[in-house]
Amino acid sequence: MVTGGKFHDYAAAGKPLKDELVIDAHTHLGVFNRYHIPDADTDSVVREMDRLGVNRACTFAFAGVNSDFVYGNDVTAAAVGKYPDRFVGFAVVNPHYPDEMVPELERCLALGFRGIKLIAAYQDYPEDGPNFFPAYRFAHENRLMILSHGWSSPEFLDRLAKDYPNAILIVGHYFHMPEYAEVVKKHPNVYQCTCAAGLNFGDIERMVAAMPVEKIIYGSDFTGWPMPFSFGPILYARIPDDAKRAILGLNMKHVLEELGA
């Protein structure tokens, strides 16, 4: 078992990760109906990223999750426009507006977005429902990432990865057991996000044991969650420092380079 190491010492000292590449694959912007978020304006978020040593963040707006997805995408566009080197925009779509889905994705693509965020559980619509398929096709045709809160089932994700190989499909959360591990291993276009790892003891070690480390990417869920709450379990994990370095940034760097983002 690997213990200690550079990242462990960073965490124990509260030292920012400024010497390392950190790319966060799963973040939010804006205010939220469900709970209060302090210091949530985009300038403050960039300042927090600077303070902790987070280089880039794939992001989308809370407004798109629980309210008007077009307005939410405007919030994201404003952040990407102001900080193009710090934010990678993800468009939120709503399956209850099927006629607007592709036009909205085309608008977001023109604004420089490089991904799509699905939050089907919050919209009371399944990921394997027909209204999402135009988004899957769009991602495939335009070489985009899709980060989804869940994917209905490993079988569905397996089929999607095969049918849309140009899309990068990201399992948005890790809840204790690596239920998508076999699909992640099988398809080069499927990745696992660390978001929510740590809510159960030993999540990172369990994840690394279940799938190739190069398929695991760091996601924090900020500004819902504190960034250190999410990178803490990686820094302290009993895995080699090189694995931590890959998860925190290098893996996502390769994905972004491949997509030209």
**Binding footprint of other proteins on the chain (CB under 8 A):** 3, 11-16, 34-40, 48, 51-52, 176-177, 197-206, 222-233, 235-237
CB closer to other proteins out of 56 and 114: 56
- Concatenating the DSSP letter of every residue in 47-93 gives HHHHHHT--EEEEEEHHHHHS-HHHHHHHHHHHHHH-TTTEEEEEE-
By beta-carbon proximity to other proteins, the closer residue of 136 and 180 is 180
> Encoding tokens for residue 158?
């397996």
Q: In whole angstroms, how close is the CB of 129 to other proteins at the nearest point?
A: 24
Instruction: Give the residue with the Cβ less far from other proteins, 48 or 241.
Output: 48
Query: Residue 130 — φ and ψ, nearest 5°?
Result: -65, -25
Quick one: 94 or 223, whose CB is closer to other proteins?
A: 223
Question: Of 121 and 258, which CB lies nearer to other proteins in the complex structure?
Answer: 121
- Residue 11 Cβ vs other proteins, minimum distance, rounded to whole Å: 6
Closest CB 41 distance from other proteins, rounded Å: 11
Helices 98-110 and 69-82, axial angle in degrees (round to 10): 10
Of 206, 196, 157, 152, residue with least CA distance to 174: 196
* Torsion over CA: 143, 145, 74, 112 (sign): negative
* Distance (Å, whole) CA 246 – CA 253: 9
**Least distance from C-beta 193 to other proteins, angstroms?**
16
- Cβ proximity to other proteins: between 156 and 225 the closer is 225
Which amino acid is located at 32 in the chain? F
Q: Give the nearest distance from C-beta 221 to other proteins in angstroms.
A: 9
Least separation in angstroms between residue 215's CB and other proteins is 20
Q: Which of 142, 114, 144, 146 is nearest to 132 (CA)?
A: 146
